[in-house]
Amino acid sequence: MDNRTCLITGSSRGIGRGIAEHLAASGANVVINYRSSTTKAEDVVEEIRTGAGSAMAAQADVTGRREVEAMREEIHDEFGPVDVLVNNAGITQDTRFEEMTREEWDQVIDVNLGGVFNVTQTFFDDIKTAEEGRLINISSIVGKQGNFGQANYATAKSGLFGFTRTIALELARSGSTANAVCPGFTETDMLAEVDDHIQEKILEDIPLDRFATIDDIASTVRFLASEDSSYITGEVIDVNGGMDL
């Protein structure tokens, strides 16, 4: 990954942070994008630089096209064009569908799908002209199976499947690839928000009998970002402990 520039949206914490750490450890320049956690993002940058890696922080709410375009300028000034884009930023607003407000629906669709539109389109030319550019979309097992109280989130996450396959086709002639990673339930702040008794119920459905670690997901993304995955495109890679067996 030496001299490759990787933008990971939502990498101030959680899975995004883990992905950034893995890519930086492989020699890439990583861009730590975040919405509001400036201190956390700066901590990630410092940690990577302390380990002799290369990183910069870039604040931009993925729902704001102008902010995303301004981030592109910052990244180009610091590292040049982006070779690898990981669309990871995501939120939940859980409630039963019959009680879900239009605002809760729109917020989740706006970040989890609208953000992917804004960031992918802004960096499309970078990925297309890169030598073996990579687009990696972080979906969720919830996009495949649905989940009680997550109609908005499941809709957004399953939308990424069609998006990934289509962009894979549109990128293919350039030699760049697009894939999705579908994590199962992973030990992050997002999972911590789920009630304990629901976490226990989820655990009963995981054949490997544990939640995913951030490293489980990040190492799969690192593989897809590397040249080892050159002939894989349009795929959805499950990392879920056997949940859909």
Catalytic residues: 153
Q: Is 236 exposed, middle or buried (0-12, 13-18, 19+ CB in 10 A)?
A: middle
Cα–Cα distance measured from residue 64 to residue 127, given in angstroms and rounded to the nearest whole number = 20
Q: Could you tell me the two tokens for 94?
A: 């859980």
Minimum CB separation from ligand NAP for residue 217, in Å? 7
Task: Give me the least distance between CB of 59 and ligand NAP, in Å please.
Answer: 8
Minimum distance of ligand NAP from residue 229's CB (angstroms): 19
Residues 6 or more apart whose CB falls under 8 angstroms from that of 174 comprise 128, 129, 133
Shortest Å distance, C-beta 114 to ligand NAP? 9
First to last CA, the chain: 33
What count of residues does the chain have?
245
The type of residue at 245 is L
Q: Are 165 and 104 in contact (CB under 8 A)?
A: no
Report d(CA 72, CA 80) in Å as an integer: 9
- Where does this chain bind ligand NAP (CB under 6 A)? 9-16, 33-37, 40, 61-63, 88-91, 111, 115, 138, 140, 183, 185-186, 188-191
The position carrying tokens 């959680």 is 14
Are 133 and 126 within 8 A, CB to CB? yes
CB of 138 to ligand NAP, least distance (A): 4
Q: How far is CA 201 from the centre of its chain?
A: 26
